A = this chain, B = another copy of it.
Amino acid sequence: MDIQKLESLLKSVQSRKMSVEDAIFQLKALPFKDLGFARVDHHRSLRKGFPEVVWGEGKTSAQILSIMKQLRSRGENILITRLEERKAKAIQKTFPKSRYYPRSKVLTHLTHPLKSGGKGVILVITAGTSDIPVAEEAALTAQFMGNRVETLYDVGVAGIHRLLSERKKLEKARILIVVAGMEGALPSVVGGLVDRPVIAVPTSIGYGTSFGGIAALLAMLNSCATGVAVVNIDNGFGAGYMASLVNRM
Residues of A within 8 A of B (CB): 28, 32, 37-39, 41, 43-44, 47-49, 53, 57-59, 63, 119, 127-130, 132, 153-162, 164-165, 174-175, 182-185, 188-189, 191-197, 199, 202, 204-235, 238-239, 241-242, 245-247, 249
A-B contacts, 20 of them at CB < 8 A, read A48-B227, A57-B130, A59-B130, A158-B188, A158-B226, A160-B160, A160-B192, A175-B249, A183-B188, A184-B222, A195-B245, A202-B208, A207-B235, A208-B235, A209-B217, A215-B215, A215-B222, A218-B219, A229-B231, A247-B249
Cα distance A193–B174 in the bound complex, in angstroms: 26
Question: Is B39 within 8 A of A224, CB to CB?
Answer: no
Number of copies of this kind of chain in the complex: 8
* A220, B230: Cα distance in complex, Å: 10
- Give bound CA distance, A217 to B241, whole Å: 20
Complex contacts, A220 vs chain B, CB 8 Å: 183
**A206: B residues at CB distance < 8 A:** 222
Of residues A37, A213, A249, which shows the largest number of chain B Cβ atoms within 10 Å of its Cβ?
A249
Smallest distance from the beta carbon of A78 to chain B beta carbons, Å?
A: 16
* B242/A195 in contact, CB under 8 A: no
| Contacting residues, chain B, for A242 (C-beta < 8 A) | 197, 226-229
Q: Which residue of chain B lies nearest to A44 when distances are taken between CB atoms in the complex?
A: B159
Residues in B neighbouring A223, C-beta threshold 8 A: 158, 182-183
Q: A239 CA to B245 CA in the complex, in Å?
A: 17
- Residue from A132, A156, A161 whose CB has the most chain B CB atoms within 10 Å: A161
Task: Name the residue on B nearest A231 (C-beta).
Answer: B229
Query: CA separation between A209 and B201, bound complex, in Å?
Result: 12
Q: When A159-B41, A208-B232 are in contact, do A183 and B224 touch as well, CB less than 8 Å?
A: yes
Q: Taking A153-B37, A160-B189, A188-B183 as contacts, is the C-beta distance between A222 and B210 under 8 angstroms? A: yes
B207 touches A234 (CB 8 A): yes
9 interchain residue pairs of minimum CB distance: A208-B233, A185-B185, A229-B229, A215-B218, A158-B192, A158-B225, A183-B219, A48-B195, A38-B129
- Residues of chain B lying within 8 A (CB to CB) of residue A174: 249
